[in-house]
Amino acid sequence: MGKVERKRWSEEFSEWYNELIETAGIQDKRYPVKGMNIWLPYGLKIMRNIEGFIHAEMERTGHDEVLFPALIPETEFQKEAEHIAGFEGEVFWVTHAGHEPLDVRLIMRPTSETAMYSMFSLWIRSHADLPFKIYQIVNVYRYETKHTRPLIRVREISRFFEAHTAHDSFEDAERQIKEDLEIFDRLANLLALPYIISRRPEWDKFPGAYYSLGAEVMMPDGRTLQIGTMHNYKQNFARAYNIQYETENGEHEFVHQTTFGMSERLLAAVIAIHGDDRGMVLPPTIAPIQVVIVPIPKKNAEADVFAYARELAEELRTAGLRVHVDERDIRPGRKYYDWELKGVPLRIEVGPRDVEGKNAVLARRDTLEKVTVERDKLVDEVRTTLDKIHENLYDRAREFLEGHIKRVETIEEAKEVFEDRRGIVEIPWCGEEKCGLEMEEILDAKMLGTPYPEGKAKAPVGKKCPVCGREAKFIARFARTY
Amino acid sequence: MGKVERKRWSEEFSEWYNELIETAGIQDKRYPVKGMNIWLPYGLKIMRNIEGFIHAEMERTGHDEVLFPALIPETEFQKEAEHIAGFEGEVFWVTHAGHEPLDVRLIMRPTSETAMYSMFSLWIRSHADLPFKIYQIVNVYRYETKHTRPLIRVREISRFFEAHTAHDSFEDAERQIKEDLEIFDRLANLLALPYIISRRPEWDKFPGAYYSLGAEVMMPDGRTLQIGTMHNYKQNFARAYNIQYETENGEHEFVHQTTFGMSERLLAAVIAIHGDDRGMVLPPTIAPIQVVIVPIPKKNAEADVFAYARELAEELRTAGLRVHVDERDIRPGRKYYDWELKGVPLRIEVGPRDVEGKNAVLARRDTLEKVTVERDKLVDEVRTTLDKIHENLYDRAREFLEGHIKRVETIEEAKEVFEDRRGIVEIPWCGEEKCGLEMEEILDAKMLGTPYPEGKAKAPVGKKCPVCGREAKFIARFARTY
């Protein structure tokens, strides 16, 4: 990594990121299909830790795990008009099997609404079946024509999380969205990722949704990355797929539906936001190795150092920590380099003097600080330090995010932000699509939407929409996005 | 289930199996693509338990987990001649993306050799990289034209396990096959599944393999089901994909390769082999619920029974068991019916008399026996009983398998076996393909191959091949297969 300086506000972020994905062992991009990458063992381990938390949260909140087939018949896919309009230009088509053309062409799922909802109409019968809550983590496909980027914009999203729920009322669906937001918040804390939630403008809703929420993080180059979405579909899909239930009074009504989506972009955000010139910096919560111990042998003292390192490791493992002793026959400096690249949050160095003095040197990955601790206090010190690392990762990312949200009143001020250092601009808006789209055009930025929850979305009294000059109803957020 | 008698040796097995897959909550077969089914929550939980063991075994034996894309360019797929010949008639083709035809058509992986091995040639450089051992659990696709059957013969295998290894010598590849066999044996014990291993005849090897081993179980209708395969590829794929390494002497040599494959058929075997007229019978090792407690309240004593049930549950959970208390407001008989269908290995019934007497009634799912145990001894009794259930499942399946392997000397005897009760026929064989194929034809059965390890494959001295009358070299196994 040494060769690539990380210039947070320059185009070199992209180079830094792409190189790190490979050098840190996350993915291999040389697979011979554009936009489809190979998960390498280390990257997959981190992702599995993130997924482990998601599975646990799903269980906690009463979602059942299912697995649907990856192929959807064209005929099912076409049932919801907005949905098909939104996706048909970017799906992969399976047209032949063996040597014959298929009677009905199949679509590789870009998302699973159209695969799932004809089954919902069979599974859901009565109010007693509601709320109905399922989820899956699967591979989905999108024929991206824009520039692809590992974990961020790909043609095969291998780790796509989608929860789908059905409810007996709009209010219960709204409760579900609140639960999704709470789960997302817990997950974001686990990853030490501060974020903002916006309600998407009408023209940028998920195809078929009544409204869409998006969760964004701030990438080091000042662009935002959407890492979570929650959609309230109202009864749109229920009508298209005829998902009805019998009420307590024996009437038949359409269910209300929601979805909650996330993906491997969670890992992209962790890598981009916490990393530095030396490589990744992983939050201890998801690091496959939380503590790496590097023995620093000197001639005539080797055995002691290795034995001591193994002893410390055993003690830390007993305390529930994920520990690795690097006993490779290479120089310590090379080991530091490798584990810093891979983002191990804490390194412990032990030399002959530490063995004698019953000490150990802790080196933090986030601040690169070193402190010597007594062996007796090792477990406690390691635990405390890991907590501090997590806190520090979160705090510095939050400071960065907050420092790059700027509230302005005029188009000129907004333009300045994007010329200067990017970030998110908050600006008064009348609420008309025409004015919103015009601002997108002038700023060459996307409207993320209005701040959520709704209480934060209202413009202060007296503010004007900078495009039409009328009274502003909302605060609108704009950003350059991934 | 009550309606379908399970007649082990009749065609009704098929009806029994198909119905159970749905009633026990394993899969839903109503998805609108033939041969592609939906994993339901309960079935998926069992499968996840099986996979958990596989992941642990892979970690124990130093295999790294990876994830490759599901699509393979036609150009990569065509590099190994036998492989493409073996698969091209049964793959799904992706020919279009968005509104345009693709420049290079993509194949939905039927297995991953051709996806992986061009990357192996980049990853493997030197003898120090060997042995190289990776695996993945992914969805694969086969355009089956035969009758499809859930978990057994499907067009989307959603849970396909494949380990791929590379070695510096034939001997080291052979050691890998031994390791695979050992892992398989541990897994089969976990599932209480007795099995046999055969070395496939030349005409039925995996396309591109030097030799193939298959592991078979005996299904209740006397047909065999292949639930595991191990292949030694020698250098066949290494030559096609140019996978070379530098030896210690600086020479370049092709690697030797092996693969090890399994799938959701493991679960099919568990369901078919252990189940009975009342439903599934799950080995305690993989049952999502090992013990279900059913309170049997009587008027005026309700609270006590439920509180007592919860107390017992807590005690068993503390001991590390997976326990569920069924507190639904329905009759106990209905609860018994549900949990027997779902194969919960042990039921505990508690009524007011058990509360008073500090007892509990244990009802085994495998034998349907009931015994009353003292509360103080509950944890021990439950543990012992679960072990006994596992042992009994294994023993009765082994007895069934052994009772249906018949060694014969003439075609007439072999024909009788298949007319009578099916099973596996072992018969002397000269080793010539012509004679083997003729026996397949006459018997309307498949040659599974010769017994493995090789020591067991030799025909006793003086035995003749029943087709050509020459001295027999081998014992060949024949069966009707799934």
DSSP string, A370-439: EEEEEGGGHHHHHHHHHHHHHHHHHHHHHHHHHHTEEE-SSHHHHHHHHHHT--EEEEEE-S-HHHHHHH
* pLDDT for residue A1 is more than 70: no
Mean pLDDT of B381-401: 98
Q: What is the pLDDT of residue A85?
A: 86
Query: Which residues on chain B are in Cβ contact (under 8 Å) with A122?
Result: 28, 30
* pLDDT for residue B421 is more than 80: no
Q: What is the pLDDT of residue A455?
A: 87
Contacts of A469 (CB under 8 A, 6+ apart): none
Are A188 and B97 a contacting pair, CB within 8 Å?
A: no
Q: CB A92 to CB B92 under 8 A?
A: no
Are A459 and A432 a contacting pair, CB within 8 Å?
A: no
Q: Band the pLDDT of B86: cuts 50, 70, 90.
A: confident
Fold assignment, A291-388: Rossmann fold (3.40.50)
At residue B342, the 3 state secondary structure works out as: coil
Q: pLDDT per residue over B270-297, tens digit each?
A: 999 999 999 999 999 999 999 999 999 9
Q: Which of A30, A89, A158 is opposite residue B99, by nearest beta carbon?
A: A89
How many helices (H) and strands (E) chain A has is answered by 14, 23
Q: Band the pLDDT of B476: cuts 50, 70, 90.
A: very high
Tokens of B386: 């679960």
Q: pLDDT per residue over B47-76, tens digit each?
A: 999 999 999 999 999 999 999 999 999 999
Q: Band the pLDDT of B3: cuts 50, 70, 90.
A: very low
Least confident of A296-305, A397-406, B247-256: A296-305
Q: Across chain B, what does the average pLDDT equal?
A: 95
Tokens of B177: 């096959």
Q: What is the pLDDT of residue B270?
A: 98
What is the value of ipTM here, to two decimals?
0.95
DSSP E strand stretches across B224-374: 224-234, 244-246, 252-254, 256-263, 291-295, 323-325, 346-350, 359-364, 370-374
Are B254 and B170 a contacting pair, CB within 8 Å?
A: no
10 Å CB burial of residue B276 (0-12, 13-18, 19+) is middle
Q: CB B69 to CB A33 under 8 A?
A: yes
Number of C-alpha atoms within 13 angstroms, CB side, residue B332?
A: 14
Mean pLDDT of A74-102: 91
Q: Across chain A, what does the average pLDDT equal?
A: 95
Mean pLDDT of B380-392: 98
* pLDDT for residue B302 is more than 70: no
Element (H, E) at A15: helix A12-23
Mean pLDDT of A274-280: 95
Cβ within 8 Å of A, B 85-114: 88-99, 106, 108
**pLDDT > 70 in chain A, percent:** 97
Q: Band the pLDDT of B387: cuts 50, 70, 90.
A: very high
Q: What is the pLDDT of residue A9?
A: 53
Mean pLDDT of A17-44: 97
Number of C-alpha atoms within 13 angstroms, CB side, residue A212?
A: 19
Mean pLDDT of B289-313: 90
- CATH of B406-479 given 3.40.190.10, 3.30.70.260, 3.30.110.30, 3.30.930.10: 3.30.110.30
Q: CB A96 to CB B93 under 8 A?
A: yes
Residue B350 falls in which region: left (phi positive, over 0), alpha (psi -120 to 50) or beta:
beta
Q: Which of A68, A90, A97 is opposite residue B93, by nearest beta carbon?
A: A97
Q: Which of A30, A66, A156 is opposite residue B70, by nearest beta carbon?
A: A156
* pLDDT for residue A6 is more than 80: no
Element (H, E) at B386: helix B378-403
Residue B250 falls in which region: left (phi positive, over 0), alpha (psi -120 to 50) or beta:
left
Q: Which of A39, A99, A145 is opposite residue B67, by nearest beta carbon?
A: A39
Query: Which residues on chain B are in Cβ contact (under 8 Å) with A69?
Result: 31, 33, 36-38, 156, 158
Task: For residue B453, give the nearest of B263, B61, B131, B174 by alpha carbon.
Answer: B174
Q: CB A92 to CB B99 under 8 A?
A: no
* pLDDT for residue B8 is more than 60: no
**pLDDT > 70 in chain B, percent:** 97
- Stronger pLDDT, B302 or A243, i.e. the higher one: A243
Q: Report yes or no: A59 at the B interface, CB cutoff 8 Å.
A: no
Name the residue type at position B77: F
Q: What is the pLDDT of residue B299?
A: 80
CA–CA separation, B443 vs B195, rounded Å?
Answer: 22
Mean pLDDT of A180-197: 98
B12-274 has CATH 3.40.50.300 classification:
no
* pLDDT for residue B82 is more than 90: no
Q: What is the pLDDT of residue B422?
A: 85
Residue with tokens 């087939």: A69
Domains of chain A, residue spans: 12-274, 291-388, 406-479
Q: Band the pLDDT of B306: cuts 50, 70, 90.
A: very high
- The CATH code of the domain at B291-385 is 3.40.50.800
Number of C-alpha atoms within 13 angstroms, CB side, residue A257?
A: 28
